[in-house]
Amino acid sequence: MKRRAFLKLVGLSVLFHHWLLRGVSAAQGPVVAVAEGKDYARVTRNAIAALGGMGRFVKKGDLVVVKPNMGWDRTSEQAANSNPVVVRAVVEEALRAGARKVKVFDRSCNDERRCYVNSGMAAALKGMKNVELKYIETERFRKVALKGKALSEWELYDEALDANVFINVPVAKHHGLTKLTLGLKNVMGVMGGNRGSIHKHIDEALADVNSVLKSHLVVIDATRVLVAHGPQGGSLADVKFLNKVIASSDIVAADAYATTLFGHRPEDISVTVAAHRRGLGEMDLKKVRIVRA
């Protein structure tokens, strides 16, 4: 065989192979694992296991970022921040899969020192080896070209961009503007600058950011959720126990499923709709394979 012909063949086969694989996965649709129970650490592990285990996402020696929501000076019971038990379980799984280091951070809305402590995250991760719970350092924000519909560029956190694996661990809760805040919106925690100003076109802006900063794995904490007065809550009267953890590698599908737990339809959440339209994932739950764990 001539060298040129060989190259052509290889090239074509690569293309074909890629297309074939995509076809296969499209036929199956994305998987959303839903685990339920009172032992939240186990529930979290079960959800990840149902996706095929953390080993599917984290390889030996990887640098992993786990991005919970710990934006508010609220206690864990008040359900404004991701459940520290869930976060710890995710971190442990990542370490077990061989992660070199796991970094946990969030650009908080209230004072970061209080948020990190009051959310329970500092206590939950205390003493873990190769785990870093650090405050955001402004010098680490890097201007990134998004070339999106709403945002042409924005400052994103370099540690999130540079990680081998970005694991998004939002808490599912009510939000005044977007109705719910889930995985797509949790990514705001790695945005620098005047984040408030994106609220005027938040659905497209979030799609812009999410199309550049991809969440390899989304683990939605729905162990206890805020059903009103979100995203901050503060009253236990607004907290509802769902005892669920949702995991998926498709952020839109995970959000879409979580939406149904609040009695909304995925189409009601403009952030989800925009992300789906932009090709970030599947929001039609009929096309999603839901695995109970």
Least Å from the CB of residue 231 to another protein: 6
Reading the block at residue 157, the tokens are: 């956190």
Three-state secondary structure call for residue 215: coil
Three-state secondary structure call for residue 189: helix
Residues 41-60, interacting with another protein (CB under 8 A): none
Cα dist from 245 to 148, 195, 254, whole Å? 31, 28, 10
In angstroms, the CA 286 to CA 267 distance is 13
Least Å from the CB of residue 267 to another protein: 15
Does residue 289 bind another protein (CB under 8 A)?
A: no
Does residue 73 bind another protein (CB under 8 A)?
A: yes
Query: Judged by CB under 8 A, which of 8, 200, 214, 265 binds another protein?
Result: 200
Does residue 232 bind another protein (CB under 8 A)?
A: yes
Residues with Cβ < 8 Å from 89, sequence gap 6 or more? 40, 41, 42, 44, 45
Query: Judged by CB under 8 A, which of 117, 123, 128, 290 binds another protein?
Result: 117
Least Å from the CB of residue 119 to another protein: 12
Nearest residue to 97 via CA among 140, 139, 60, 124: 60
Does residue 119 bind another protein (CB under 8 A)?
A: no
Q: Is the peptide bond before 231 cis (omega within 30 degrees of 0)?
A: yes
Residues 155-194, interacting with another protein (CB under 8 A): 162, 175-177, 194
Query: Judged by CB under 8 A, which of 118, 119, 168, 249 binds another protein?
Result: 118
Reading the block at residue 33, the tokens are: 């694992």
Query: Judged by CB under 8 A, which of 7, 9, 26, 236 binds another protein?
Result: 236
Question: How many chain residues bind another protein (CB under 8 A)?
Answer: 33
Three-state secondary structure string covering 92-151: HHHHHCCCCEEEECCCCCCCHHHHHHHCCHHHHHCCCCCEEECCCCHHHEEEEECCCCCC
Reading the block at residue 49, the tokens are: 């296991």
| Phi, psi of 108, rounded to the nearest 5 degrees | -80, 160
Does residue 233 bind another protein (CB under 8 A)?
A: yes
Decide whether 67 or 175 has the Cβ nearer to another protein: 175
Reading the block at residue 147, the tokens are: 């070339």
Least Å from the CB of residue 134 to another protein: 7
Does residue 9 bind another protein (CB under 8 A)?
A: no
Using CB under 8 A, list all residues that contact another protein.
73, 109-111, 113-114, 117-118, 134, 137, 139-140, 162, 175-177, 194-197, 199-202, 229, 231-238
